[in-house]
Structure 1
Amino acid sequence: MKLNVDGSAKGNPGFSGGGGICRKEDGSFIFAFSAGYGYGTNNSAELRAIYDGLELCLLKGINRIMVESDSKLVIAILVDIYCIASLRIDCGSRSYIDSNGISWEYDNLFIYPGNNSQVLTNTTIASQQMSTLRFFPDRNKNCYILPVFAYQKYLLRAGFYYGNYDGQSKPPTFDLQFDGNLWATVTTSLDEPSFFEVIMIPTRQNVSICLARTVDGGVPFISSLESLYLGMNMYGWMLGNQVLFKEYRLNFGATEMVRYPDDEYDRFWDPAIPTGYKTVTADYPSLNQSVDDDPPLTVIKTAIEAPSPSDKIILSFPVPQQRSIYVTLYFTEVRKFGPDQNRTFEVYLTGKYFSPVLSPRYQMCEEISWNADGWFNQTVGWFNVTLSPLNDSNLPPIISAMELFTVKEYQLESTSQDDYLCELLPILPQKISVLLWKAIKSAIPVEDVIQTKGIHLASQCVYCDGIAAQGPASESVDHVFITSPRARMLWILFGTIFGLGSLGGSTVINKLSWWWSSPSPRG
């Protein structure tokens, strides 16, 4: 069997739709479908058309199917998950594509409350995304709901620029949270933007990013919000239950920040030239070998080295107390050696011997990473890196870049689900809101809920009774509303009629997450 699909968007992004046709090997017709997908891009429409077509094939008992699409990007996404990229929101602005070709989305697609404003104070430091913001004067807590791929690695970044948007010259302080976890206490300034980053592996198909008013703070606001997809091989010493809080990402020897397009993941590399060290730049045009964390060439080519072959490089960094540390150091040799030259040194982290002898190689990037994982908990508030030359080294120690994170265990707090519901339910009709609340809170008397009360029933879904080849099925809320054959058919039918596609996810909360990420049901 062959499934041909296509998708398009008027304006790209704009109102989008897709469809497809399924045929037998001889070309005879099996079924066709079409659907409106609301606001989106041609690629997102084509992906959703593939999803809908495959789901229809499964419902019709077609288990072996060839899918054909004319989009190279969509095929690349399906073959290589790393192509499924990122979401960038310019808060308070409209959707647009910036000068680097990056798409920025309208934040009304991801949050309901709040007001938009432009800043009053201009600064050369502020980017286009810092010229607008969204502020929240009415509630103590307001949350963005971002769609993500569960169990994949993301860099989350939030940006704030007060710019005296309210004319009060009183920059506020408030809490920033993700999935119910405290991310940071944001202390804004009158004319300087600030950014906060974490790297995490979400355990469901959405992440809640919340701004919470503090007792003495003012009105919370936000200028930009990004979820940037990373390869799972990146930051490979990070454990699945950990969150990395960025403290420093330094490009030694540089004088300007490096980010996209030099860094394809749009990480911010801050310039750093510590006092007392020489700056050097590699004389090669490209790298012959990089590393899993994939720092950009422009970062690796600049470096600092000690004043003389016998001197050490000693770097000290203040860090939050009582947290573990994750650190990655990057090295390269910036020039070709003569026959009698040698650069070798050892690495010590806060006084403890860490690595074997290092001798960076020309035109190659090398890294060493360390995840303390509870063994090293800062109690003094400082983290030190020491590069100590060996006695036979006649060239001084060298370092190109460093990333330093503090580490906490990731916990999906129950409050994050309530954050999600508080954003979603107020815009729905009251009867639907009550029903959804009951479904998510397990307050509908289906079999698995009743059994938790000590009452045991026959394990069979009445909803599936009489459907051939289904057999007994446990009656749960997700089964009744989402995964049972009749429910799946209804999702496809009404999703097509109302321009929602079939919506992804196999649980009530996942369906709502996909629904929330689409602007069409909210007009």
Structure 2
Amino acid sequence: MVVSDESGLNIDCGATIPPPDLLTLRMWVTDDKYIKTGENKLLLTPTNLPQMSTLRSFPKGSNNNCYNLPLKSQSKYLVRAGFYYGNYDNLQKPPTFGLQLQSGSVNVKVTTSLDFDPIYHEFIIFTTKSNFDVCLVQTQEDQTPFISTLEVTIIDQKAYRLMNENMALYLESRINYGVDKSVPERLLWYDEKYNRIWRPQEDPRYLSNQYGFSIQLTSMNEENSPPDVVMCSSIEAHNASESIVLPIKFRQKSQVSAYFVLYFDVIAAYKPFEDARTVSISIDGQLMNTTQLPGLGSGEVVSMYPVKVTGGMATLTIASAGGTTTSPPALLNAMEVFSVLDVSNVGRSSESVLGSSFSLVLLLSMLYCMEWIDF
């Protein structure tokens, strides 16, 4: 049975009757209440994700193709737009177009492909008012924008604690380390209350540890509420003298300000009577944090912001900081990496605009009058 979690809105774009979501048991709705433009399309290419079997396209090229979503004002939301071309138009020409959020304060480029995997653009953002808009913008005359899914999930104000209202987080990567693709990236709604996608990944250079999924930990009470499934697996260096080195790609090649979140739990790698694990965390050779990991039954979340990244690439290094060759080696359970977007101009009130206009009129009036004053 499909269950609604009442914490968000999951829109199956272009659908007339949304198919059941057997992966997460979340409830999906049609999009006709939230947008007035566009056309419903059924994909010609089959997909393993039922919600990707339809889409809404915007062939008329208007820049007013906007979803208007009734969200809570002054709240924090995860917003994810999904795109799966699937050759729906039988042209074999996946388009490129723009995606805008919150009155254009967030503006990113969407490049679709003929791949069988959907493309997602995901953000964590503060809402400034109760109506939140998501717009599809034509950027090339012969390219038709479209959208397959639109998901918004409210998250706790304390989550991603280094955020403020002048910034939005744009997801670069979110990885569940130490497991292969047999572990789903989308989890049941009661296991993952923020509706995040955790991509499973093993690294052949390091040990993969997995405790099992039946245990119930306390991770939901930890910073950002990581799912137990994620905290029960990890990658681990072979010994204390070896570091975990992970390259991280960013979409933007110019300098960006990044937000890193690293998740640690020793449960999958714990050995009886081992010393407490202490790890040092460096990015591009600069030491960012040294932390001692707690014992069994609790995890540790390390958030780092701001981190300056240039050239579209960063290197994360996690090393054992125990001080001896017999110290427990470094490990990592999961990681989230975001680019930080400046949205400080969002939410200017009509009063402030009116005030600026009034000041301009007053200044022009004064200058006009000064022409007639004899100094």
After superposition, the Cα gap between the structure-2 partners of 1:340 and 1:137, relative to the gap in structure 1 and judged at 3 Å, is: closer
Q: One-letter code of the match for 1:253?
A: G
Task: Kindly indicate whether residue 214 of structure 2 is the aligned counterpart of residue 259 of structure 1.
Answer: no
Q: Specify the alignment match of 1:285 in structure 2.
A: 215
Classify the secondary structure of the residue corresponding to 2:51. helix
Alignment of 1:229-240 (within 5 A): 229-240=154-165
List, as ranges, runs of 4+ consecutive aligned residues in structure 1 with deviation greater than 4 Å. Answer: 411-414, 449-454
The correspondence of residues 25-174 of structure 1 with structure 2, limited to 5 A, is 85-94=7-16, 96=18, 98-99=21-22, 100-124=24-48, 127-141=49-63, 142-174=65-97
Distance 1:377 1:338 in 2: 39
Aligned residues: 341
Q: Deviations over 1:174-222 (max 9, x none)?
A: 1111121343211111233111100000111111111111126511111
Query: Which residue identity lines up with residue 201 of structure 1 in the other structure?
Result: F
Q: Which residue of 2 aligns with 1:403?
A: 336
For the residue of structure 2 that corresponds to 1:308, the secondary structure is coil
Give the whole-Å Cα distance in 2 for the aligned partners of 1:119 and 1:186: 19
The structure 2 residue matched to 1:329, chosen from 259, 262, 268, is 262
Aligned 8 A contact 1:173 1:185 in 2 = yes
Q: 1:254 to 1:370 in 2, by over 3 A?
A: same
- By percentage of residues, which structure has more strand? 2
Q: 1:184 aligns with which of 95, 99, 108?
A: 108
Kept in 1: contact 2:61–2:144 (CA 8 A): no
* Distance in structure 1 (CA, Å) of the matches to 2:7 and 2:21: 16
Q: Which has the larger radius of gyration?
A: 1
The alpha-carbon deviation at position 140 of structure 1 amounts to 3.1
Q: Name the TM-score, length of structure 1 as normaliser.
A: 0.60
Unpaired stretches in structure 2, ≥5 consecutive residues:
363-375
1:24 is matched with which residue? Answer: none
Tell me by how many angstroms 1:228 deviates: 0.9
Counterpart check, 1:345 vs 2:272: no
Equivalent residue of 2:337, what SS? strand
Amino acid at match of 2:37: P
Is the Cα contact below 8 Å between 1:251 and 1:270 reproduced in 2? yes
Contact 1:174 1:217 in 2 (8 A): no
Q: 1:295 to 1:168 in 2, by over 3 A?
A: same
**Structure whose residues are more often helix by fraction:** 1
| Secondary structure in 1 matching 2:309 | coil
Separation in 1 of the partners of 2:280 and 2:260? 16
Distance 2:135 2:274 in 1: 59
Alpha-carbon distance change, 367 to 217 in structure 1, aligned in 2, over 3 angstroms: farther
TM-score by length of 2: 0.83
> How well do the aligned residues superpose, as a CA RMSD in angstroms?
2.8
| CA distance in 1 between partners of 2:132 and 2:272 (Å) | 53
Question: How many angstroms apart in 2 are the aligned matches of 1:220 and 1:364?
Answer: 45
**One-letter code aligned to 2:85:** Y
2:28 alignment partner, SS class? strand
Pick aligned residue for 2:132 from 207, 225, 228: 207
- Residues 108 and 244 of structure 1: is their aligned pair in 2 closer, same or farther, counting only changes over 3 Å? same
* Residue in 1 that maps onto 2:305: 371
1:287 alignment partner, SS class: coil
Distance across 2 between alignment mates of 1:346 and 1:408 = 27
Offset, 1:336: 4.5
Whole-angstrom distance in 1 between the partners of 2:337 and 2:274: 35
Kindly provide the amino acid, as one letter, of the partner of residue 115 in structure 1: E
* Residues 258 and 298, structure 1, Cα contact 8 Å, conserved in 2: no
Q: 2:293 aligns with which of 337, 346, 359?
A: 359
Shifted more, 112-121 versus 217-226: the winner is: 217-226
User: Structure 1: how far apart are the matches of 2:202 and 2:134?
Assistant: 34
Q: Which amino acid aligns with 2:287?
A: Y
Query: Does the 8 Å CA contact 1:175/1:214 hold for their aligned counterparts?
Result: yes
One-letter identity of the residue aligned with 1:135: S
In structure 2, the CA distance between the partners of 1:120 and 1:353, relative to structure 1 (3 Å rule), is same
How much does 1:138 deviate?
Answer: 0.8
Counterpart position of 1:461: none
What SS is found at the alignment partner of 1:298?
helix
> With CA pairs under 8 Å and 6+ residues apart, which has the higher RCO, 1 or 2?
2
Deviation at 1:451, TM superposition (A): 11
In 2, the alpha carbon distance for the partners of 1:101 and 1:340 equals 40
Structure 1 vs Structure 2: percent identity of aligned residues? 33
CA shift, 1:453, in A, is 6.3
